[in-house]
Chain A
Amino acid sequence: MTDAVSTKRAGSSGLGRRILIAIPYVWLLIFFLAPFVIVLKISLSDATIAQPPYTPLLDLSAGWQGVVEWWNGLDFENYTLLTEDELYWVSYLSSLRIAVISTLLMLLIGYPMAYAMARAPKSIRPALVMAVILPFWTSLLIRVYAWIGILSPEGLLNAFLLWTGIISEPLYIMNTETAVLIGIVYSYLPFMVLPLYASLEKLDESLLEAAADLGSPPWKAFWQITVPLSIPGVIAGCFLVFIPAVGEFVIPDLLGGSETLMIGKTLYNEFFLNRDWPVSSAIAVLLLLVLVVPIAVYQNVQARQLEGKA
C-alpha cells in the first residue's frame, strides 16, 4: 500500500520535474532554433524586389501543390556564390585573423592585469573588479565614438604626440586595421580579465610556498604552478573574446573605414544596402558553422573541467 503511494508520488514529481526541465528547452526552441531555421530557409531562397524580398513563399492555400512548389524553389546557389565571389571568403579570413590577433593581444594585456588584481590586498580587490566592469555602464557605441575622437588625425592622441614633439606629422590610425584592433581590444578586455582573475584568485598561496620550499624560485614557480593552474581561465577568456570578435560589426564599421573587411560588416552591407536577404542569410549560417567548432571545443573543455573537480 505504501509502495503504491510512493510510486504515485514519484510519478507526479517526475512530471513536475520534466515540465521544469522542458522550460529552458522550449525557450531555446522558440528563441534560438526557430529563428535559425527561418534564416536557414531564407538562405536557400532567391532574392526579389518584393515584400518580403525573397521567394518562394509558402502558400498553404494552394494545398499540397503549394508545399511542393515551395520545396522545389529552394536551392544552394547563394552558398555557391559565397565560394565564388572573393569578397566573402576574404571577409571571413580577415575576420578570423583580426579576432586571433586581438585575442592574443588581450591575453598579453589581460594576464598581467588579472594577476596584479589577484595579488592585490584583499580589501581593494572588489574596487579593482569594479574598475574593470565600469566601462560597461556606458554604451558600447559611445565608447567606440570616443575612440574616433582619440585616434583621428586631429584627435587627442595626435595632438598630444605633436605637442610633445615625438612626431611632426599626424599619425593616420583611423580607418586602418590598427584602429579596429585597438577598438576590439579595448571593448572586450574585461571579458578576458574577469575569467583570468577568477582562476588566478582561486590559486592557493601555499602551493607557491610549497614550490619555493622545494627549490623553485618565484619566476620558475610562476611557469610551473601559476600558469598551468590558470589555463581554464585562459581558455574561457580567449573563447569569450574570440567568438564575438569574429562577428564584430560596430567597431570595424566606425573605426575601420572601408579598408577593413570583416564578415559582420559584409553581412550588414548585404542585408541593408544590397537588400539581398538570401545571400546575407547564407553568410550568417556559414559564420555560425565556422564558430560552432571553437564553441564546441570550449564546451568540451569546460565539461571536462567540471568532471575533474567532481
Chain B
Amino acid sequence: MTKPTLQDPHMALKPAQKALGPIRRSFAPWLDPSAVPLIRFENVVKRFGDFTAVDDVSIDIHQREFFALLGPSGCGKTTLMRMLAGFEEPTSGRITLAGQDLSGVPPYRRPVNMMFQSYALFPHMSVEQNIGFGLKQDRLPRTEIEARVKEMLKLVKLEPFASRKPHQLSGGQRQRVALARSLAKRPKVLLLDEPLGALDKKLREETQFELMDLQMELGLTFLIVTHDQEEAMTVADRIAVMNHGKLVQVATPGDIYEQPNCRYVADFIGDINILDAKVASAAGGMARLAVAEPAVEIAAAAPDPSPAQGADVAFALRPEKVRISIDPPPPDATNVLRGEVWDIAYFGDWTKFLVKLDGSEKIMRVSRANATRTEFAPIAWDDKVHVWFAPDAGVLLTS
C-alpha cells in the first residue's frame, strides 16, 4: 500500500509537513520545488454570462497524485473538472497537461477520461461494448480490444456480466462498469465526478478503498470532485477546498483538518467550536485572547507573525481536543471553563457532549472516545462539568 518512493520514507519531515494528520510520508511531490506538475491550472476564470463559476484558480497537480476538489454544490469544482475534460473552455487563463496547452483541444482528443456522476453508460450496448467503446474509437485491433476489455472486467470483478445491458445491473455494478470504461484507455488522468454519490454508505466506503488501491496499482493520476468531505479525506493525497468559485485552501487531508487557513475551511470540514475573540496581547508565539462569549480570557498558540493587539480573530477548536470531567481538572490544566451538560449524543465508539458554558449561551462541543466499556462516574444530562484545552489544541484564525 505504499506509494513509489520518491524520498526516503524515514527521513526527517520538512517543517512544512509538520502536521498531526495522516500523510503518506513517502509521497509528497508538491513539496519538491523541482518537481514538474502534470496538470496546471493557471489563473483559470470561467464565466457564464454574469455569473463567475470559477474565479482565478491556479492549481498544480502532480503525477500519481489522488487530488480532490471539495466544496458545496455550485462552488465551481465541477466546472473546473469539465474544463479539464474539454466540455467547457476557460474564459481566461489556461490549463496545461504534461506541458501541453489544452486550449482549443476538443474533448475527444484529450488524454483524460471521465467517470460521470450519472455513469452515462450507453443503454443500447452491453457491458463489454461499453468498456470497449473508447478502444474502438482508437481503431485498435479487435484482439487487443478484447484482451483489454477482459482485463478491465477482471479488474472490476464483472466477468460474469460481460454481455448484460446496463439496465440489467445493480447500481454498484453500473458504477463499476463506468469505472472500467473510463480506465480502459489508460488515460493520463482519470476524472471522477461525484463517482460514489449514488451508492449506499457501506458500499461507498468499500469503493473508496478500492479506488485508492486501484490508483496506486495503476499508477494513474486521479482527480475527484466531491461535496462529501469524508470521501475527500479518505481517498485524496491533497484536497483543494473551493467556495464561490475561489480556491480557499490546498493541503493534505491532515493539514486541512488541523491547520485550516480560514474560518470557512475550519467550519466546512468536520465539527468545530469557533470562539470569536480579540487579541489582548501577543508575543513569542503565544497570545492572550479576550473571548466575546463567554467573557473570558484564554491562552492560545499564535501564528508567526503574531497578530496585532486588538485584532479580531477566531479560535477554532476541534471537539476531540477538548477535555471534559466532573471533577476539577489537574492543576497544570490551561483554559479551564465551566458549564452544564446540555445534550449528549452517544455514537458507540465515542460520545459527543454539548456543554453550555457558564455566563453565556455558547455551546462547546466536546467529544470523547469511549476507551473502556464501563465508567466509574459517567457524565449525565445537566451535570456541572469542567472543560479545558491546551493553548495549541486549536487554531488561531485571522480570516
Contact = CB atoms under 8 A, between A and B. Distances in A.
Q: Do A and B come from one complex?
A: yes
Interface of A: 204, 206-207, 209-217, 220, 224-225, 228-229, 308-309
B120 interface: yes
A6 B72 CA distance: 53
Given A212-B87, A229-B124, A308-B165, 4 more contacts: A210-B116, A215-B185, A217-B108, A224-B133
13 contacts: A204-B120, A207-B123, A209-B107, A209-B114, A212-B108, A213-B85, A213-B108, A213-B114, A214-B113, A214-B137, A216-B137, A220-B137, A224-B133
A308 B123 CA distance: 10
Contacts of B172: none
A94 B355 CA distance: 90
Contact of A229 (B123, B133, B134, B137): B123
A210 B165 CA distance: 17
A215 B181 CA distance: 12
Most buried by B among A212, A215, A228: A215
Contacts of A207: 120, 122-123
A148 to B, nearest CB: 45
Nearest to A206: B120
B293 to A, nearest CB: 49
Given A204-B118, A209-B116, A308-B167, A214 B123 contact: no
B270 interface: no
B118 A228 contact: no
Interface in B121-141: 121-124, 133-134, 137-138
A204 B123 CA distance: 10
Contact of B87 (A209, A214, A217, A309): A209
Contacts of B137: 214-216, 220
B107 A212 contact: yes
B106 interface: yes
Question: Which range holds the interface residue count of chain B?
Answer: 20 to 34
Contacts of B124: 228-229
Interface in B162-201: 165, 167, 181-182, 185
A64 B85 CA distance: 85
Contacts of B109: 215
A210 B108 CA distance: 9
Contacts of B181: 214
A215 B116 contact: no
A217 B167 contact: no
Contacts of B85: 213
Contacts of A213: 85-86, 107-108, 112-114, 182
B364 to A, nearest CB: 46
A158 B145 CA distance: 59
Contacts of B122: 207, 210-211, 225
Nearest to A308: B167
A209 B185 contact: no
Nearest to B139: A215
A212 B182 CA distance: 12
Nearest to B112: A213
A211 B133 contact: yes
A214 B116 contact: no
Interface string B356-367: 000000000000
B117 to A, nearest CB: 8
A220 B86 CA distance: 17
Most chain B CB within 10 A, of A209, A214, A229, is at: A214
Contacts of A308: 165, 167
Contacts of B114: 209-210, 213
Contact of B108 (A204, A215, A228): A215
B74 to A, nearest CB: 19
A173 to B, nearest CB: 42
B58 to A, nearest CB: 25
A215 B167 contact: no
Contacts of B167: 308-309
Contacts of B87: 209, 212
A222 to B, nearest CB: 13
Nearest to B125: A228
B106 A214 contact: no
B108 A216 contact: yes
A280 to B, nearest CB: 45
Contacts of A210: 114, 116, 120-122
Contacts of B134: 214-215
A109 B108 CA distance: 30
Given A220-B137, A309-B167, A212 B120 contact: no
A215 B120 contact: no
Contacts of A204: 118, 120
Given A209-B87, A209-B107, A228-B124, A215 B118 contact: no
Contacts of B165: 308
A91 B138 CA distance: 52
A220 B85 CA distance: 19
Interface in B144-169: 165, 167
A221 B167 CA distance: 21
**Of residues A213, A220, A309, which shows the largest number of chain B Cβ atoms within 10 Å of its Cβ?**
A213
B188 to A, nearest CB: 13
Contacts of B113: 213-214
Contact of B120 (A209, A224, A228, A309): A209
B82 to A, nearest CB: 9
A67 to B, nearest CB: 57
Contacts of A224: 133
Given A213-B107, A215-B138, A206 B118 contact: yes
Contacts of A229: 123-124
Contacts of B116: 206, 209-210
Contacts of B112: 213
